[in-house]
Amino acid sequence: MHYVIENNRIIITVTDDFNPQHILDCGQVFRYHKIDAGYKIFSKNLFCILIYEKNRVIIETTDVNYFVTYFDLDRNYGDIKQHLLGYPKMAEPIKHGSGIRILNQDRAEMIISFIISANNNIPRIKSIIERLCNALGEDMGEYKAFPTIAVLANQSEEFFRSIGAGYRANYLVETARMLQNGFDLDCTNLSYSQAKKHLMQLKGIGNKVADCILLFGYHRQDACPTDVWIERAFVYLFGDSKLTRTAMSDKLSQYFKGFAGYAQQYLFYYIRENSNQNNSKVEEE
DNA sequence: CACCAGGTCTCTC
DNA sequence: GAGAGACATGGT
């Protein structure tokens, strides 16, 4: 992958390791929607327009630097894929999701979003987050920002229920208040397991959600979020289905060493697409 | 009407 | 620690 910056545009000229569909459809991001020639993608209080042509991708935004980091453009995914190809049964998943990248997203946004994601489905997660932004996000003109912690911490449980959060409403109230009260989001000096334990002090954050936050908000590559799909991926890799999800997550984290997060994304996309009979392409067209 | 969706919490043993 | 049940909501 190679890119250049021209004014308000990032132009990606070699797209082997950058496929918008792979990136957006592997479950790491909820705030985007399809437009004619690409996508609109929102993060924090910013947004970009992504347009794909035959052999290049153009990203238009008022904050080029933010989205260079957001899309993880300075990382060599060729090397990552090469490394993971050294593992059995990884060739197909990597080929299938060859253009996946792990985004660098806002931590608070990840925390709130993945609390909502628990025991929920992706279309509904998206719509709840959209209602959340519409109700509380700063008006940015043609779109609404993700609400700040200060605003979120002011809401009642009834409000979160009113946007469809269901029983997670209480988790959101509690966590927003803890964040507002100075809960430390800096995990740079913590090991992976320490960071995970730290985040799990927040209401609504268990093993899986903590891994999602560490992977998508902190780019911690030893995190391997394990849900039903990764459970199936575990069976695909090892032929063993008798461990608990937590044990599977730990084993995968150790097995792929510092690359578990990347491996997880290729596997998630691969297994989910392959066993999806209804193949919901609702987003497309 | 059941079952499921990127699980977590709480209460048991 | 591991296991069982409750938990909102909307789709199939």
Measured CA to CA, the distance from residue A63 to residue A60 in angstroms comes to 9
- Residues with Cβ within 8 Å of A212's Cβ and at least 6 positions away in sequence, in order, are A28, A110, A114, A117, A223, A225
Please give the protein residue whose CA is closest to the C1' of the nucleotide B9.
A204
| Positions in chain C where some atom is under 7 Å from a protein CB | 2-3, 7-12
A186: Cβ contacts below 8 Å, ≥ 6 apart: none
The integer distance in angstroms from the CA atom of A225 to the C1' atom of B4 is: 19
Please give the Cα distance from A4 to A222 (Å, whole number): 30
Nucleotide nearest A168, from its CA to each C1': C8
Cβ of A124 near strand C (under 7 Å)? The reply is yes
Closest CA to A102 of A260, A270, A281, A280: A260
* Tens digit of pLDDT at every position of chain A (285 positions): 899 999 999 999 988 899 999 999 989 999 999 999 999 999 999 999 999 988 899 999 999 999 999 999 999 999 999 999 999 999 999 999 999 999 999 999 999 999 999 999 999 999 999 999 999 999 999 999 999 999 999 999 999 999 999 999 999 999 999 999 999 999 999 999 999 999 999 999 999 999 999 999 999 999 999 998 899 999 999 998 889 999 999 999 999 999 999 999 999 999 988 876 444 433 333
Between the CA of A211 and the C1' of C1, what is the distance in angstroms?
20
State the pLDDT at residue A280.
41
Measure A203 CA to B9 C1' (Å).
Answer: 9
A2 - beta bridge partners? A14
**What's the confidence (pLDDT) of residue A281?**
38
Q: Which of residues 29-48 of A touch strand C (CB under 7 A)?
A: none
For residue A240, count other CB atoms closer than 10 A to its CB.
10
Query: Which protein residues have their Cβ less than 7 angstroms from some atom of strand B?
Result: A 26-28, 117-122, 124, 167, 171, 200, 202-210, 212, 225-230, 264-265, 268
Total-model pTM: 0.96
Question: Would you say the C-beta of A258 is within 7 Å of strand C?
Answer: no
pLDDT of residue A273: 86
Give the integer Cα–Cα distance in Å for A111 and A132: 14
For residues A182-192, one letter each, b for 16 or more C-beta atoms within 10 angstroms of the residue's C-beta and e for the rest, the string is: eeebebeebeb
Does any strand C atom come closer than 7 Å to the Cβ of A166?
yes
A139: its two tokens:
């008006």
Cβ(A61)–Cβ(A44) under 8 Å? no
A219 — alpha (psi -120 to 50), left (phi > 0) or beta? left
Protein CA A210 to sugar C1' B7 (Å):
11
* CA A82 to C1' B5, whole Å: 33
Q: According to the model, what pLDDT value does residue A228 have? A: 87
Whether nucleic acid strand C comes within 7 Å of the CB of A206, the answer is no
* Residue A161 beta carbon within 7 A of nucleic strand C: yes
Q: Which bases of chain B are under 7 A from a protein CB atom?
A: 4-9
A152 Cβ neighbours under 8 A, 6+ residues apart = A112, A136, A172, A176, A179, A180
Asked whether residue A131's C-beta has any atom of DNA/RNA strand C within 7 A, the reply is: no
Helices (H) and strands (E) in chain A, counts: 14, 6
Strand C contact at CB of residue A95, distance < 7 A: no
Q: Under a CB-based contact definition with an 8 Å cutoff, are residues A248 and A256 in contact? A: no
